[in-house]
Amino acid sequence: MCGIIGYLGDREATPILMESLKRLEYRGYDSAGVAVLELPKNGDPTRTSVTKSEAKVDTLIEKLESNMPSGRLGIGHTRWATHGKPTYINAHPHTDCHGKIFVVHNGIIENFAELKAELEAAGHEFPSETDTEVVPHLIEANYKGDFLAAVRAALKRIKGAYALAMFSSDDPELLVGARLNAPLVVGLGEKEYYIASDITAIIPYTKRVLVLGEGEVAAVTPLGAEVSTLDGVTIKPKIVHVDWDVTQAQKGGFAHFMLKEIHETPEAIANAMRGRLSDEGLISFREFDVPNEQLRNLNEVVLLGMGTSLHAAMIGEYVLEDWVGLPARAADASEFRYRRPTFGDKALSVVITQSGETADTLVALHQAKARGALSVAVTNVIASSAARDSDGAIYLHAGPEIGVASTKTFNSHLVSLYLLAMQLASANGRISLERRRELVQALRVLPEQVRAILARDKEIVKLAHKYSKYRNFMYAGRGLGYPVALEGALKLKEISYVHAEGTSGGELKHGPIALLDDQFPVVAVCTASSTKDKMVSNVHEIVARNAPVLALVSEGDRSLDGVATDVFEMPAVEEASLAILNTVMLQLFAYHVAVKLGQDVDQPRNLAKSVTVE
């Protein structure tokens, strides 16, 4: 979950490390540090300058600005603590006994205790409580004059997950990166190279990116980057061109990334459809090009994800059953991975992951693959692990999402799942041309409909301020409105720290209703659907318990006038479109509650954007 960056080139490393760490901060932000190999002055020996902060990157930047190390090789880190508290000593980079080898790490070294005991017995000393610290010591223990060989030998002993950037002051022209079960890219610039946890960190500098594979090591020198296995076998690197631009990764005048990203939803969902949808509702995905015959043979769809992506999976489940008539189930990937799988090689596993790096989701994907299932990753990150490990990929093309809470990508996931459902329904003949045309029409106008909701921000601010006095919330919905309610509740709790839970309307009276009173409002998703009348009955039951109700209803529906405390009218459109429009409204509602409460919306406490550990 931490962010790592490395630089080797002909410019000053420190400013580049500082700027890149700011961009990586969403991956973790409880402490930070850099190590820069300083240019030798007057024939002095090389010296590495280490600067750390036990707080966010800004504090590190302040320190660096008052004492800027000068050098062309350096590494940096922003931490999300797993082993050891976020203290100065535990902040990366970590070093060996002689202060020559410097390492930054993202991931978890599962056998660190065993390795540490072995190294301590051999005389190595470990000031920190981190798992990472074994890496420089293990390299030191294996060092026989060749840094790269020592790195390879050390990594062979390590179990778990790592993305590493490393250098040794004995090799001032060598920067080394390595990965296993954690993402790492190498940026290829003009006479300069970068190693980074992800592309976001380096897009201002280069759009040419070498994506490192599992168990691979990149040796970066002024001559270029060479990739090899831990056994030293050279590998032809995979280089991709990234089409994101720098402004996409900046706030662009919005108060927070989250708000900016919610406002990018119209473009994001248009991008998810671009070039994939014909007027007749025929779908083609460039990176998931499976013959209709194979699609027709599928007998089950399993949708895997975590958090917000799991909620998208739940919507996918409803839509696939309804439009395609195939058994579909959404599964919490962290549970799925420990269950006994029951499906086989006629299943399709759809892996839903914005980052493409969520550890639980990746393991579940590997299990589905091991059962022979066809797999497709629906992801925002090109060449991410999920994309590479699946048979195909449906890229969201939503642009970078920096706010820790997922917003625009949730809706891009929904559009992608709708397209996938249309594709499967066409392949098995379950959908008429007329219905396909209706759906195409509904999807094409969706960006404009989202814009219309965004334009009602002031109304939403008013509601958010009114409701921001409450400490508990229930969100309720049925059908597609149920996952939407779960997502609305998740958004509110994660950024405002206000307790919120989601429930299906039907489940309410099986327990959750006991919580309700005049201090426990309910956000009720009551927009048009086959179960809308049931939701209206639920609202009556809620109101009878004195709970305030904020109801989302379809335009012109008067059934909750005078019943719900507040009614927010949505356009009368397709249910699938409403899932997106309702979500945008609830995202804005959560955002404004959190801002009113003065919370750090883009970087909520205890969270990280990319959860690369189990």
Contact residues toward ligand F6R (CB under 6 A) are 306-309, 353-355, 358, 361, 405-406, 490, 494, 610-611
> Rounded to the nearest 10 degrees, what angle do helices 265-273 and 575-596 cross at?
150
8 A C-beta contact, residue 392 and residue 376: yes
Backbone angles phi, psi at 170, to 5 degrees: -80, -15
Exposed e or buried b for every residue in 160-192, given b needs 16+ CB within 10 A? ebbbbbbbbbebbebbbbbbbbbbbbbbbbeeb
First to last CA, the chain: 11
Distance separating alpha carbons of residues 75 and 4, to the nearest angstrom:
7
Minimum gap (Å) between residue 472 Cβ and ligand F6R: 20
Residue nearest to ligand F6R (CB): 307
DSSP 573: -
Q: How large is the angle between the packed helices 265-273 and 408-427, nearest 10 degrees?
A: 20
Q: Is the peptide bond before 86 cis (omega within 30 degrees of 0)?
A: no
CB 352 within 8 A of CB 409: no
Residue 219 makes CB contacts below 8 A (sequence gap 6+) with: 148, 174, 176, 225, 226, 227, 228
Contact 378, 411 (CB under 8 A): no
What does DSSP assign to residue 284? -
Rounded to whole angstroms, the Cα distance separating 412 from 466 reads 30
Q: For residue 18, which of 2, 36, 34 has the smallest C-alpha distance?
A: 34
User: Given 22, 408, 532, 609, which residue is catalytic?
Assistant: 609
Supply 440's token pair. Answer: 């195409």
Distance (Å, whole) CA 49 – CA 47: 6
The answer to whether the CB of 490 falls within 8 A of the CB of 497 is: no
Residue 310 region by backbone torsions, left for phi larger than 0, else alpha for psi between -120 and 50, else beta: alpha
Active-site residue flag, 22: no
In this structure, what token pair is assigned to residue 377? 């990753």
Residue type, 98: H
| DSSP 8-state assignment for residue 432 | -
Compute how many other C-beta atoms are within 10 angstroms of the C-beta atom of residue 145. 7
Task: Provide the CB-side half-sphere exposure for 489 (13 A, CA).
Answer: 25
Tokens (6 digits) for 561:
């006038």
**Residue 311: its H or E element:** helix 307-319
Nearer to ligand F6R, 133 or 494 (CB): 494
Concerning whether 609 is annotated as a catalytic residue, the answer is yes
Confirm if 217 and 155 have CB atoms less than 8 A apart.
yes
Catalytic residue positions? Answer: 2, 609
